[in-house]
Amino acid sequence: MQQIQASWDEAQAQLRAVREQVEHLNNMALAKVASNMLERDMDRAYRDLGEAVWAEVSKGRLQLGNTLTHVRKSLEVVTQKIQAQNASINDLLAEGADIAKRLQEKMAAASKAVAPQSKRR
């Protein structure tokens, strides 16, 4: 009986130790999630700030210092590439719309040319 009680006490002690470790890991995971959310918020704030500053620079309302000239030039290059890509995508979309229109016209013409066959009984 004493051996069973000793085993029981040992099992309970192990369970407490495991429970404490699980609770600790849970707290660590929650802290990591909170940290990730704060980092995401910080990244979003920096991105918004950068976009706002770039908008003002693009409009000529804000001048960047000489040390940031290379950043401005690289942003201008990227902006031009994005505009060119958007123009290319718009051209592809317009071409696709033209193709779809021609296919619809062909299908409409083909369906008018084919008369339904009469059913014979």
Residue 120 lies in a domain: no
CA dihedral 80, 55, 68, 76 (to 10 degrees): 0
pLDDT recorded at residue 120: 65
Show Cβ contacts of residue 53 under 8 Å, excluding neighbours closer than 6 positions: 62
pLDDT recorded at residue 109: 79
Same domain, 72 and 56: no
pLDDT recorded at residue 114: 57
Residue 72 lies in a domain: yes
Residue 49 lies in a domain: yes
pLDDT recorded at residue 119: 64
Which residues constitute the domain of residue 98? 64-112
Ranges under pLDDT 70 in the chain: 113-121
Residue 9 lies in a domain: yes
- C-alpha span between 58 and 86 (Å, rounded): 19
CA-based torsion, 82, 83, 85, 89: positive or negative: positive
CA-based torsion, 79, 80, 85, 86: positive or negative: positive
pLDDT recorded at residue 67: 87
Same domain, 56 and 69: no
- For tokens 């609770």, the residue is 23
Residue 119 lies in a domain: no
pLDDT recorded at residue 41: 96
